[in-house]
Amino acid sequence: MTERSAASPYLTIKNDLLAQIRAGQLRPGDAVPHEETIAQNYGVARATVHRALRELAEEGFVERKRRAGTRVAAAGGRTTKVDIALVRTEIERTGAPYRFEIVSRNVVQNDAFAQRILRVSATQPVLHLEVLHYAGERPHQLEERWINLDVVPSARDQEFTDSNPNEWLIATMPYAEAEHKFSALNANAHQAQALGVPEGEALFVIERRTALDAKTITYVRMLHPGQTFAMAATNFSLSTKN
């Protein structure tokens, strides 16, 4: 008996749909087939399909709405320890207008930092971006981002005119894993100039790495002036491992 045939019917359906989401066959915003259709395809009761879809929704991979059906979640399915608001949302909640500016953009290879943080080889191309996010006229966040072009090749030609890189990635590329790290550093000359703070000023730093099927999609470092930044997060929990 194969591993698939040995699994519970609802788990087989859940895993098959999850595999399609992770492979990009079902993309963010795509409609998932109706429960009746899935039930007929697998020869199971509709309640079995309902359980599979309910668990996928609880884990963040799909969104279910009455009459609108089930669709792949915009974020592609993520169960993380910290849910941090999009920078646009974070700024607009304060009542300030939001805008962003692409400060620099380069495709790099043989970059030691990118190789280490994205876990790629020297020959793999990486898109490096610097993005400045504004709350009104005040710099709010300096984003330093590296995107693995082997995983997201369409990012190479993306202009990021209407959506910032993070928003575009969320809408385009699902991910299954996310790691966050919080720290502080003293601003160097470039960071200080971009954020409008004195060199050496303390910055609050959020780092995030996302991955799909053991391949890193992107690594981003978000730097904020420490004296003016306040972070709001939901679903926050701490765990320790020996």
- What the chain holds in terms of domains, given with CATH numbers, is 3-72 (1.10.10.10), 83-234 (3.40.1410.10)
Residue 45 tokens read as: 């009761």
142-152: b or e for each residue (b if 16 or more CB lie within 10 Å)? bbbbbbbbbbb
52-57: average pLDDT: 87
- The residues near 107 (Cβ < 8 Å, ≥ 6 apart) are 125, 126, 127, 128, 149, 156
- Structural contact between residues 76 and 56, judged by C-beta atoms closer than 8 angstroms: no
Q: What's the rounded Cα separation, in Å, for the pair 211 and 119?
A: 11
Q: ∠106-109-111 over CA atoms, to 5°? A: 95
In sequence order, what are the beta bridge partners of 146? 128, 219
- Structural contact between residues 17 and 49, judged by C-beta atoms closer than 8 angstroms: no
- At residue 221, the 3 state secondary structure works out as strand
pLDDT at 86: 83
pLDDT at 38: 94
Q: What's the rounded Cα separation, in Å, for the pair 203 and 184?
A: 6
pLDDT at 84: 55
- Indicate whether 236 pLDDT > 50: no
pLDDT at 4: 40
154-171: average pLDDT: 92
Residue written as token pair 């991910």: 175
Residue 179 tokens read as: 């790691």
Q: Which pTM value belongs to this model?
A: 0.63
Q: What is the pLDDT of residues 114-130, one digit of tens each?
A: 999 998 999 999 999 99
- The residues near 63 (Cβ < 8 Å, ≥ 6 apart) are 57, 70, 71, 72, 73, 74
Q: What's the rounded Cα separation, in Å, for the pair 6 and 9?
A: 9
61 — pLDDT class (breaks 50, 70, 90): confident
